[in-house]
Chains A and B, each alone.
Chain A
Amino acid sequence: MDYTDVCPPSVVELILQANLASSTAGTLFSRIASASQLDCQVAALQAVANRISARSDLQVIDDFTGAVATYARFLSPEAKAAVKEAYLLMPYSPSVALNYFGGLRATGIDIRDHLGRLPEDWSFQQPRQGAATWHQYLYLASLGDRDALKALADKIAATSNGNDATNLLQSLSELKAEGVDAILQSYANDQRTADGTEGPGMPIAQNVMIWLMMRATP
């Protein structure tokens, strides 16, 4: 369905006027979402996918791929194809890894051949700080790559700090892939604690119990 048929005129205008080569369009999907219904938002995603290019700004890429992950379950095969085409055109930077690979994970789009071998850096401690490799491996694991999942597990196992381990495990708990539950279960008795704002926070064991419960929820 074309976005011009389902979006309010103001949103149509917003999309038409957006300069995807500029960071000024870096919050485009928030503005669309604030002024429209779901069918418009999904149609808008496909429309923007058709306009993504190698010159698109990184903040636009970050915003777009985040929207891909958000609306993944509502995308038609045609929309997914448009998104895949956009991925093959758009630039990649480690600074957008969270959403870039998040969109790929959520849609199951396989562009491993296109990506080739990306530089790896496992020195990160948190999944949101310099952790592009973490997100890349979450993507690979989501496609059934057992070695990738093992690398993720190894990273967690090598993390001694309870708070850092908590954040990595929490991130892993959002991955829909076979073998994740087993990794989480292996920490079911871990009494290391996260860092609360006033002293120690919850033990890893208690958090693992909650994450397993959330994963079991349809």
Chain B
Amino acid sequence: MGVRIGDITSRFELLDWNDPTKGRVRRRFVNDDETVRFLRQTLVADDTMAEVRQWCFEQGIHHTSGRKFLQLLAAAIASGSVWIGEIEQISNLGKGGGGVKPVPPDPNPNPGPLPGPKPVPKPVAELVVTVKDLNGNLVEGATVTAGSLGSKTTGKDGKADYGKVTPGTYDITAEKPGHGKVKNGPTIKDEKKGVSVPDGSKTAVDLIQHPECANVASFEGPVVTGPESRAKYFGFDPKTNIVAGHAGLLNPTGSYWNPVPAKGSAKPTFKSKFERDGGRWASVAVGQETELEINFDFTDGECVPCIANTTFVVEAASVAEVVTAHVTTRKAAFKIKGLAVGEATLKVKCDGKEIGWFHIWCANEATLKLDVACIITNLAPVTAYSIATLGAHLNDIYRQAAIKIDLFDLGSIDLSADAALATIEANGYPAGGGQFLKKTGTPIPYDSKGLVLNALHAKASAALTARVAAPLPRAGAYRIYWYVPTTGCSILGTVLNIGSPISFGFQPDTPTARNSMAHEFGHSLNLRHPSDPDAATASQFAAHNLLTLGGAVPAYAKTNTEALSIVDTGSGNVLGNDPTNLMGYWDDRPNRKPLRYHQWKAASRS
């Protein structure tokens, strides 16, 4: 290329004969003298002359004398080996669709008109900004701002191309919602100040926008209302590792973290499966799947990249695996599959950092047989019940422990003609009439509970064993008797003793009665009341939750797995931390369904 002649405002260049003509018009002279005069007028500054001499030297034109040099140069211009180009005026560019046509170098130049005053051309530079994440991935949709040049959005190639710009110095920033300058940091914008974009240059600038890590807000079962709410998962336990947040009992927000940490702030670190860190337990049967959700929290609305930047890792991978993970704008819904008996932890990681976790208990699914029969005596008539409804209720509950209940209806057992039984049975009723197993009076009918119920069971068993036609009692099955006294009963149901396969229900078939049967069946599986003083109780509940026995039940945000926000004063056999636990006595009986990790482990499986 050529060299400019004159000061910075000059529009003239010396050009080699084969330099392109684009954007330039050839300057013509009458003779060498005019050429020399033009050169002397133009080459005033020493620095300009030095540059011109250097350029001419490269063309083979040189002389120590300034006068001789200009004459040699004028001769070269006259011969056409060197020519003077005048940069086209801006106003001419594009005029008439093509502007001034460039004139190629003329080997026999004729004199042209003398140059008139020309407008000063603008210097030209180019600027391209590329936005990447810390892994080198191109970031689309980032907003790049370069001072007075304004803002542009990066495309799929991660670039914001400003094209030709005025040379100068610019402050350049890049930002994108859900991204930041560093991993897990509070800084959002990446910024480079005072970036020099010199004339004639093509300046490239790289900026960083790395996807943020979302904050894990909560782990839940899917939002499904109604009695089928446990259909998509087995057990879900937000209570065993409950944080000590609200009045020493509950996290008031129901959040996984308390509170959800601010962007870039430190989060709790994983310590153990039994740390009171809010980590949930989920159960799943071997070979089956359970569906759960992680809800994420963000600083600035939805953040798909934040979740996309998240990975799910099962530690003890032989126990369970993530089968599918469906990411939406605020949630990751995923299925985990049980692989082997044991326990595992699913950790949610972002950029190598643990941001949340829950624990998985995996067991072989057990099928327990449960026979249902109705005992008829002179004091307890036949009662109607629905095996299907009871079965649905029981399976809704015990599925949490990977236990399937196989119900079978033995029908009615009429013992009304058994005089010996009637004598024993009378011990369960007040002498003057009244409720079965009444807890007051002389003698107290409740004190005869064991004697009466064992007698009923013995007689019913004998009758069933004697059957020679269907339905037959199934060997190895648990059994529930409906025995519904005409006079009513002081209790809803009971079991012969903890671990006995035989239990009773004393109320007509209602949601409350069915839940009572589920509770009594729990006793058959060795589950105990939280208020039971037996040493075995300690292994069936988290110790910190047992300490809330009889304590006030505070309000807490409902989770997808529990019914309602509850506020109440303390009452017996109710855990303040876990009021709806099946083995407690919470008043809302139809919704008293949850079993927890320790109970999953404690329940008999044969």
Residues of A within 8 A of B (CB): 23, 26-27, 29-30, 33-34, 36-38, 41, 58-59, 62-63, 66-67, 69-72, 95-99, 102-103, 106, 126, 128-129, 131, 163-164, 166-167, 170, 194-197, 201-202, 206-207, 210, 213-214, 217
Contact = CB atoms under 8 A, between A and B. Distances in A.
B475 A66 contact: yes
B408 A34 contact: yes
A67 B472 CA distance: 10
Given A128-B605, A195-B534, 19 more contacts: A27-B406, A30-B408, A30-B474, A33-B471, A34-B409, A37-B469, A63-B406, A126-B604, A128-B606, A166-B500, A195-B499, A196-B497, A197-B523, A201-B497, A202-B454, A206-B450, A206-B451, A217-B458, A217-B462
B605 A95 contact: yes
A23 B458 contact: no
A164 B498 CA distance: 9
Interface stretch (B76-84, B259-267, B361-369): B361-369
B470 A202 contact: no
A71 B468 CA distance: 10
Nearest to A106: B475
A135 to B, nearest CB: 9
B455 A210 contact: yes
A26 B406 CA distance: 9
Contact of A38 (B461, B472, B528, B606): B472
B526 interface: yes
Nearest to A163: B498
B471 A129 contact: no
Closest 7 CB pairs of A and B: A69-B475, A194-B497, A202-B450, A195-B498, A128-B604, A201-B497, A167-B499
Main secondary structure, interface of B, reads loop
Contacts of A72: 475
A126 B499 contact: yes
Interface of B: 287, 364-367, 369, 404, 406-409, 449-451, 454-455, 458, 461-462, 468-477, 494-501, 520, 523, 525-526, 528-529, 532, 534, 604-606
Nearest to A41: B470
Contacts of B532: 195
17 contacts: A26-B367, A38-B469, A59-B367, A70-B472, A70-B474, A70-B475, A95-B606, A126-B604, A128-B499, A129-B526, A129-B604, A194-B500, A195-B534, A196-B450, A197-B495, A214-B461, A217-B462
Contacts of B604: 126, 128-129
A126 B525 CA distance: 10
B367 A63 contact: yes
A63 to B, nearest CB: 7
A212 B367 CA distance: 31
A136 B535 CA distance: 29
Q: Which of A23, A128, A164 has the most chain B CB atoms inside 10 A of its CB?
A: A128
Contacts of A207: 454
B497 A30 contact: no
A29 to B, nearest CB: 8
B476 A69 contact: yes
Contact of B470 (A26, A38, A214): A38
B24 to A, nearest CB: 86
Nearest to B501: A128
A31 to B, nearest CB: 9
A196 B449 CA distance: 10
A163 B499 contact: yes
A163 B533 CA distance: 13
Nearest to B364: A95
A197 B523 CA distance: 8
B476 A66 contact: yes
Contacts of A26: 367, 404, 406
B529 A197 contact: yes
Nearest to A98: B606
A182 to B, nearest CB: 21
Contacts of A96: 606
Contacts of A128: 499, 501, 525-526, 604-606
Contacts of B500: 166-167, 170, 194
Contact of B365 (A23, A38, A69, A197): A23
B473 A70 contact: yes
A40 B474 CA distance: 16
